[in-house]
Every structure is written in structure tokens, then in C-alpha cells.
Amino acid sequence: AQSVTQLGSHVSVSEGALVLLRCNYSSSVPPYLFWYVQYPNQGLQLLLKYTTGATLVKGINGFEAEFKKSETSFHLTKPSAHMSDAAEYFCAVSENGGYNKLIFGAGTRLAVHP
């Protein structure tokens, strides 16, 4: 069965510092991988996704993530944090199947302080 583990329910960084949010997955078949962001009281917005091809994927707002099959990881990074990046981030995995349901991690709340 698929599962997603996000290490660290809360991450705090200074404005301008590197953002690193960790995600590990388990899947019996090559996965599709996603990062979503949720701002307070809003739905989820897609940041980026990996399906096939290049393992380093770039998303919106300066975020990127690298698919590492050997490590079963899909960590999210941003070189320089901005105050507006404060939100909750969810990693998700989907198998290439008939209904493609997403399995989510528990989420990581990112705080950015001046």
C-alpha cells in the first residue's frame, strides 16, 4: 500500500533562509508525486508535480523538488524563504491507476520569521 511520510510537522526558518521540507513515500509501482500548499482557511493549491522524465521539477513561487528513487524521497526546497511562504505544505503520492487517488502526508506547517 502507498504511504507518505513528512518529517517534521512544524518547520521554522528565517526570512531569506533555505527552506527544506522532507517527504518520503512508499509505492509498489513508479509513483506520481505532488506537493500542495494550503494557506489558512483555503483549499489546496498545486505547487509542483513529478510524473516522468526529469527528476528535478520546478514549481510556482520559486519552489522545486527532486525525485530520488533510490531514497524514495521527494523533498521540497526553496533557496530563500519569503514571509508569504508561511503555510501548510502537503506531499502526496498517486499510482498510475484507474482512479488515481492521492495519498497525502500529514503535512508540514512552515513558519517564516523576520
Partner 1 sequence: SQTIHQWPATLVQPVGSPLSLECTVEGTSNPNLYWYRQAAGRGLQLLFYSVGIGQISSEVPQNLSASRPQDRQFILSSKKLLLSDSGFYLCAWRAGQSSGNTIYFGEGSWLTVV
Q: Which is nearer to partner 1, 5 or 15 (CB)?
A: 5
Q: To the nearest whole angstrom, how small is the minimum distance from the Cβ of residue 16 to partner 1? A: 29
Distance of CA 43 to the CA centre of its chain: 15
Q: Which is nearer to partner 1, 29 or 114 (CB)?
A: 29
Reading phi first (left if > 0) and then psi (alpha if -120 to 50, else beta), residue 57 is in: beta
Q: To the nearest whole angstrom, how small is the minimum distance from the Cβ of residue 59 to partner 1? A: 12
2 near 105, Cβ under 8 Å?
no
User: Which positions from 42 through 61 interact with partner 1, judged by CB under 8 A?
Assistant: 42-46, 49, 51
